[in-house]
Amino acid sequence: MSDIAISTPQAQMTRTHSAVGSLRIVQTACILVIALVIVSPLFMLLIASLKDDRFQILADMGSFRAFWVSDPTFANFAEVGNFSGELAFGRYLLNSLIILALTVGSGLIVNSMAGFVLAWGSVRGRALILSLVIALYVIPQESIIMPLVIMVSRAGMTDTFAVQIVPWIASPLYIFLFYQFFAQLPKELVEAAQIDGASIFRIYRSIFLPLSLPALATVSILMGIESWNQYLWPILVTQTDYARPIAVAIATFFGQDSIYWDRAMAASVLMMLPILALYLAFQRWFVSSFVGSAVKG
């Protein structure tokens, strides 16, 4: 009797185990295939950038040799990473980095301040302002771009760094994102700080900013990608190399008659690296269980 009673659940357990096991295998296989599909072009790009002969690159495409390099060289990188010469992308890369750093840096401050004040400041017509912010978000960037171009050219701002930074600092999406993040923090935190003698700015700086690392990281990544990939706007407002970003430079490069595939690949790899670094640096803050301990007993 007791034997049966014991063996039955065990048998069930084994069956469930093996069912779970085969499901796991199928899942893993699917994920592998998807990952392969996504990663292989990137891998191909990386391999090609390490090959010296641009005709060989073209010939290798479409065969497995596209995924293999026998004598890797960094010559392409040395050439495109330069600041002078026909194919020097170093300058554009630097331009893009400057634009990204200043946009994200000021964007974090401006948008988080706006979100904080909307969430905790004594603002008249808060609901109206919030719905305006959301309404602004619905308007696509492209639809206001022509009037904006006219505005900045009248203001004599074309072909500068500022024109590529200032218009994109304040963003309804990020204001709203910060607003939501701040609004869900407990009211007692603000009140305790008020009683401790903190001004509203001090509460923002010493309490809310340190607690909003996940939001700051998320906004940094999103804003960074957005800034890095800006294409239409810089085409319209830059005429010379002075402030031209790399996305635009690479595109014009591909429009030329003879394409140096080897260097184009190296330039593309270079363009990917900073944004990848940004992501890796901030992704660990994406999920944070930090704030829960503020109030829970």
Partner 1 sequence: MASVTIEQVRKQYGAVPVIQDVSIDIDDGEFVTLVGPSGCGKSTLLRMLAGLEDISGGEIRIGGRVVNDIAPKERDIAMVFQSYALYPHMTVAENMGFALKLKGQDKAAIQNRVKEAADILALGPLLDRLPRQLSGGQRQRVAMGRAIVRHPQVFLFDEPLSNLDAKLRVTMRAEIKDLHQRLKTTTVYVTHDQIEAMTMADRIVVMRGGVVEQIGRPLDLYDRPVNTFVATFIGSPAMNLFNGSIVDGRFVTDDGKALPLPPGYSGGAARTYGIRPEHLAIAESGIPVTVGVVEPTGAETHLVVKLGALDTTLVIRDRVDVRPGQSVAIAPDLAKIHLFSAQGARLN
Round to whole Å and give the CA distance between 108 and 105: 5
Nearer to partner 1, 41 or 186 (CB): 186
Q: Which of 85, 68, 84, 176 is nearest to 132 (CA)?
A: 176
Q: Segment contacting partner 1 (CB under 8 A): 17-25, 115-123, 187-195, 268-276?
A: 187-195
Measure CA 227 to chain center.
8
| Least distance to partner 1, CB of residue 213, Å | 9
Q: Which amino acid is at 69?
A: V
Strand residue runs (E) in the chain = none
Binding residue for partner 1 (CB under 8 A) from 19, 31, 35, 295?
295
CB of 224 closer than 8 Å to CB of 100: yes
CA distance 38 to 36: 5
Give φ, ψ of 258 to 5 degrees. Answer: -105, 125
Candidate ranges 44-52, 79-87, 186-194, 261-269; the one touching partner 1 (CB under 8 A): 186-194
Q: Is 122 in the site for partner 1 (CB under 8 A)?
A: no
Contact residues for 92 (Cβ-Cβ < 8 A; gap 6+): 241, 244, 245, 246, 248, 249, 250
Q: Does 170 bind partner 1 (CB under 8 A)?
A: no
Tokens (6 digits) for 218: 């998320």
Give min distance, CB of 126 to partner 1, in A.
Answer: 17
- Rule CB under 8 A: say whether 183 interacts with partner 1: no
250 in Cβ contact with 89 (< 8 Å): yes
- Binding-site size for partner 1 (CB under 8 A) equals 24
Q: Report the nearest approach of partner 1 to the CB of residue 100 (Å).
A: 27
Tokens 């974090």 correspond to 108
- Which residues touch 232 (CB under 8 Å, ≥6 apart)? 142, 145
Site string for partner 1, 199-228 (x = CB under 8 A): ---x---xx--xx-----------------
284 binds partner 1 (CB under 8 A): no
Please report, as residue ranges, which positions from 17 to 56 form the binding site for partner 1 (by CB under 8 A): none
Which span sits near partner 1 by CB under 8 A: 18-26, 80-88, 191-199, 217-225?
191-199
Q: What phi-psi label fits residue 286: left (phi over 0), alpha (psi between -120 and 50 degrees) or beta?
A: alpha
Q: Which is nearer to partner 1, 273 or 294 (CB)?
A: 294
In the list 14, 191, 241, 252, the residue contacting partner 1 (rule: CB under 8 A) is 191
Of the candidate spans 9-17, 72-80, 270-278, 289-297, the one that interacts with partner 1 by CB under 8 A turns out to be 289-297
Is residue 282 a contact partner of residue 275, using CB atoms and an 8 Å limit? no
Cα–Cα distance measured from residue 170 to residue 167, given in angstroms and rounded to the nearest whole number: 7
Residue 270 neighbours by CB distance under 10 Å: 20
- Regarding 85 and contact with partner 1 (CB under 8 A), the answer is no
Out of 70, 84, 258, 293, the residue judged to bind partner 1 by CB under 8 A: 293
C-beta closer to partner 1: residue 255 or 292: 292
Q: Does 196 bind partner 1 (CB under 8 A)?
A: yes
- How long, in residues, is the chain? 297
The piece of 10-18, 127-135, 149-157, 286-294 that touches partner 1 (CB under 8 A) is: 286-294
Interface residues toward partner 1, by CB under 8 A: 186, 188-189, 191-198, 202, 206-207, 210-211, 290-297
